[in-house]
Amino acid sequence: MADTLRLDLPLLLPDVPDARDACVRRLIESLEPRDGVERVHIRDEEDGAGAELCIHYDPAVLPLERIRQLAGTFGAEIAAKFGHMVWQVDGIADQRRARTVSENVRRLSGVVEAHANAGGPLRIEFDRAQTDEDTIRKSLEEMKVSPEREKPGPASADKADDHDHAHGGIFGAQTELIFVGLCGVLLLIGWLLPKFVAMPSWAPLFVLVPAYFFGGYYALREAIDSVRNGRFEIDFLMLVAAAGAAALGEWAEGALLLFLFSLGHALEGYAMGRAKRAIEALGALAPKTATVRRDGKVEEIAVDALRVGDIVLVKPNERLAADGFVIKGESSVNQAPITGESVPVDKSPVGDANVAAEKPDLVDAGNRVFAGTINGGGALEIQVTRTSADSTLARVVKMVNEAETNQSPTQRLTDRFERIFVPAVLVLAMAR
């Protein structure tokens, strides 16, 4: 009967952002062909534990120590060959721009994979033998995309405002919506004027031509980027259709087409902006500093400097700075930001702190606390079980970012269909 060995995936592949990364697949493919190995798979996170590599093997053919050695060797080789970067970036205002950036980065020498999203981070996997982080960073800056080293987390209002201005234009984040509104107003005026005022047939052009400008400005920008990259997407098709309507003298119909298309585009960008601000607000739930007792002294330190085993002092009505369990004091804690519970949960000290520290994931809910939650009227002393980067709150933010970055199968199918559909329509139109 086969035995099962579970190995901590982050230790084997420390730079891999999650278990769905291509390097995890490479590790599995390296181990499965070995004699004595029956099956290799990933055991997903459960009860707060990290993802694990599960190896089902025949101990009569392959000893346990040899399995450990092979997994460590293959993991080290893959980690040395492939690098991973997860960056928050400025300069990706909407999903079409994100797709363009992703494809441009994939074309860079040595880049294996790249995924960008208007509401999430830019993820890049690259071959260390062919390129490096600085080279990729310079290439991104040439694309007018500014990578930031810090990961998603607390963001100040000023920083959010700066991002909005960079993404939106001269009027900030609302520029595209303002342009859509101007296009709609001008279109309405150009359509209604001839019905109520006697004028030459060319007179409405004085308002319909500006309507074309405001309605097609962002579509034109995206179309230029797409054509430069050898792609004809829906933006280009809309512009061709509007130009065709103008050539036939149907300026109002062309302006209406651009208005409807730019309205959908603007609403998508607005939704992405709200999603990004929601992620930033979620990351800002945790305080930036914590009061700890170390070596008999009480001091205030940055949350990032907290270590597992530290004792954190929490005052009444204060936000908790870290995940852990209560060792002293009683209080009720509002856990709604993390768990969604509608009423505060009573917290009390654990019976044995040493036992709780050895198996923190088995601590009872009445003794366990989370970063970002709000303490009630009693003072608490908390023993830290996770660093700020590994807290439940940080993992929630990470999961939301991953959900923003990863495309659904329907999105991927739509992208592939669009690449064929638009050129086909253009070819058929010219053929007629």
Q: Out of 106-110, 144-148, 236-240, which region has the weakest mean confidence (pLDDT)?
A: 144-148
Lowest mean pLDDT among 78-92, 138-152, 254-268, 312-326: 138-152
Please count the other Cβ atoms lying within 10 Å of the Cβ belonging to residue 413.
11
Name the residue with higher pLDDT: 429 or 298. Answer: 298
- Tell me which amino acid residue 11 is: L
pTM comes to 0.60
Bridge partner residues of 432 (DSSP): none
Task: State residue 150's pLDDT score.
Answer: 46
Report the pLDDT averaged over residues 148-160: 45
The pLDDT, as a whole number, for residue 158 is 42
Closest C-alpha to 215, from 262, 266, 269, 267: 262
Mean pLDDT of the chain: 83
**Is the dihedral angle over the CA atoms 331, 335, 340, 342 positive or is it negative?**
positive
Distance CA 56, CA 78 (A): 21
Residue 218's pLDDT is: 87
| 3-state secondary structure at position 428 | helix
Phi/psi at 40 (5° precision): -130, 130
Residue 290 has pLDDT above 60, yes or no: yes
C-beta separation of 135 from 96 below 8 A: no
pLDDT at 170 over 70: no
Beta-sheet strand order (sheet of 289-294): 297-302, 289-294, 311-314, 380-384, 324-328, 368-369
